Amino acid sequence: MSNEKTSWQQVAELITAKNSAALLEYIDTLSPSETARTISRLPEETRLQLFTLLSPEDAADVIEDIPEAQAADLVEEMPSNQAAAIMEELDSDHLVDVLGEMDEDTSRAILAEMDQEEAREARMLLEYDSDCAGGLMISEFLSYTSDKTIQDVLDDMQANREEYGGYHVQYFYVVDRKGKLSGILQMHDLLFPSRKTPLSQIMISSPLSVSDKASLAELEDFFEEHHFFGVPVVDEEKRLVGVVLPGAIEEAVNKRKTKNFLNLSGIVGGEEFRTMPLLTRSGRRLSWLSVNIVLNIMAASVIAMYQDTLAAVITLAVFLPMVSDMSGCSGNQAVAVSMRELSLGLVRPGEILWVLAKEARVGIINGAVLGVLLGSIAYFWKGNAWLGLVVGGALAANTLVSVTLGGMLPLLLKRLKLDPALVSSPLLTTVTDMCGFFFVLSFAAAVLPKLGGM
């Protein structure tokens, strides 16, 4: 067996030795994913000692390497003044992401300890929805009034080189006295003209911008059409309030996909990590599983109603899960299409009848094809045409139900202000199970003498 120490064992030893320099040097050799893994394996007390040994700036670098939910858990364990010193070193977008994962009392206490100007900006950003331009933008950008000269810009950059060194500077923004966006400059625009040239003479006037309320879908479309390094964000009064970078859009899209996947998998309340408190993790999962018990009892009650039919034709037990599962797959396809169209704004919650008409046609065609296929299999297996009609007819009917319901559910739930990604799947599964069992067993009961003793 290898005696090589794990990364978290080495970090723990350096923490115990209180060797800050060696600790920082070793952490710098780890990839972001290995850093996150290492910190997650440390005991809670050791994690707190780690951030005590590091400077706020170095601690912030570590925080930026780990998922926001995990970072929030770590910061919440710290005293407010220590947490505030670290949070002040984060980029504005990352700062808001971490604060947004905390409970309100903790985030409020940390903001109270932070620099007033930085805390004001953070509170402003926290007011935005996380999936709009205001929630995705950074507030670290360089802007100057149009009467400034190139020399003024260069002097300002030199005087504040330490602060600006961490900025993502690709463009310089030109504003009027009220802060309204009026122009934009690229880096090379400052190199060749005379240093006495006013910015108003060399700026690109009327630059493209996005509203601070622009949705994630709108931002995706913008960057697909315009391959910029960033886009300025303006408020209702056209004042420059931030900049959205393409990387933030990509990260937000990935987060949304992760969230939807977790919701559909039954992980509610946000991301879950095994470093979280045991009761928190257990409670999140039970909130989903306990509801599923009720839903499954509802589906099973249909079988109980027809237990005599099922006992008389035991072969039906083979086809019950096939009918419900195949119909469920068809319904989930419709759910996925509705979810995507909702996110893109191609369909609205009130257009339920339009979606019903569109999906019903697909359900009829697919139901007929799948019903013929499964009915033929049942017929050739047992040599009974009535069994084929029962099974095939049930699958056709249930496919129609599941496809139309799957298309409408996300719209209906959105209209009721419920999360379609979280609720659509269990509701659809329950209904398709209940209807599938009902169709198979009720059709079988109607022609029971024709089925013989299979």
Q: What's the pLDDT at 401?
A: 93
Of 245, 270, 295, the residue at which a domain comes to its end is 245
Q: What is the CATH number of the domain that holds 419?
A: 1.10.357.20
181 shares a domain with 106: no
- Residue 100, in any domain of the structure: yes
Provide Rg for the chain, Cα atoms: 30
CA 454 – CA 450 distance, rounded (Å): 10
Token output for 158? 């030199």
**Average pLDDT for the chain:** 84
225 shares a domain with 283: no
Domain range for residue 434? 278-451
167 shares a domain with 88: no
Q: What's the pLDDT at 357?
A: 92
- pLDDT exceeds 50 at position 1: no
Half-sphere exposure of 312 (CA within 13 A, CB side): 15
Q: What is the CATH number of the domain that holds 82?
A: 1.25.60.10
Q: What's the pLDDT at 289?
A: 67
The predicted-structure confidence for 235-272, as pLDDT tens digits, reads as follows 888 999 889 888 888 888 877 776 666 655 555 555 55
Amino acid at 244: V
297 shares a domain with 202: no
CA 87 – CA 59 distance, rounded (Å): 9
Strongest mean pLDDT among 120-124, 218-222, 286-290: 218-222
Q: Residue 359's closest CA among 290, 428, 426, 291?
A: 428
238 shares a domain with 298: no
Which of residues 372 and 200 earns the better pLDDT score?
A: 372
- Residue 427, in any domain of the structure: yes
Q: What's the pLDDT at 345?
A: 72
pLDDT category at 276 given cuts 50, 70, 90 is low
- Residue 270, in any domain of the structure: no
Of 220, 245, 270, the residue at which a domain comes to its end is 245
Asked whether 233 and 180 are in contact (CB, 8 A), the reply is no
Burial group, residue 77, by CB count within 10 angstroms (0-12, 13-18, 19+): middle
- pLDDT exceeds 50 at position 381: yes
- pLDDT exceeds 50 at position 2: no
- Residue 215, in any domain of the structure: yes
375 shares a domain with 344: yes
Q: What is the CATH number of the domain that holds 180?
A: 3.10.580.10
Q: Which residues contact 332 (CB under 8 A, 6 or more apart)?
A: 406, 425, 428
What's the domain count of the chain? 3
Q: What's the pLDDT at 3?
A: 58
Of 245, 265, 296, the residue at which a domain comes to its end is 245
What is the sign of the dihedral through the CA atoms of 181, 185, 190 and 196? negative
104 shares a domain with 177: no
- Residue 332, in any domain of the structure: yes
321 shares a domain with 436: yes
- Residue 387, in any domain of the structure: yes
350 shares a domain with 287: yes
- pLDDT exceeds 70 at position 358: yes
Q: Which of 127-136, 165-174, 440-449 has the lowest mean pLDDT?
A: 165-174
446 shares a domain with 298: yes
Q: What is the mean pLDDT of residues 420-446?
A: 82
- Residue 85, in any domain of the structure: yes
185 shares a domain with 148: yes
Q: Residue 12's closest CA among 63, 53, 65, 69?
A: 53
Q: What's the pLDDT at 394?
A: 94
CB burial string 21-42: b at 16+ within 10 A, e below: eebbebbeebeeeebbebbbbb
pTM given for the model: 0.58
The predicted-structure confidence for 47-61, as pLDDT tens digits, reads as follows 888 888 888 888 888
Residues in the chain: 454
Token output for 419? 């999360």
Q: What's the pLDDT at 264?
A: 57
pLDDT category at 360 given cuts 50, 70, 90 is very high
290 shares a domain with 236: no
- Residue 313, in any domain of the structure: yes
Q: Residue 235's closest CA among 127, 345, 343, 145?
A: 127
- pLDDT exceeds 80 at position 278: no
The predicted-structure confidence for 147-158, as pLDDT tens digits, reads as follows 898 899 889 888
The predicted-structure confidence for 63-82, as pLDDT tens digits, reads as follows 888 878 778 888 888 888 88
Token match 């947490």: residue? Answer: 83
Asked whether 404 and 363 are in contact (CB, 8 A), the reply is yes
Burial group, residue 248, by CB count within 10 angstroms (0-12, 13-18, 19+): buried
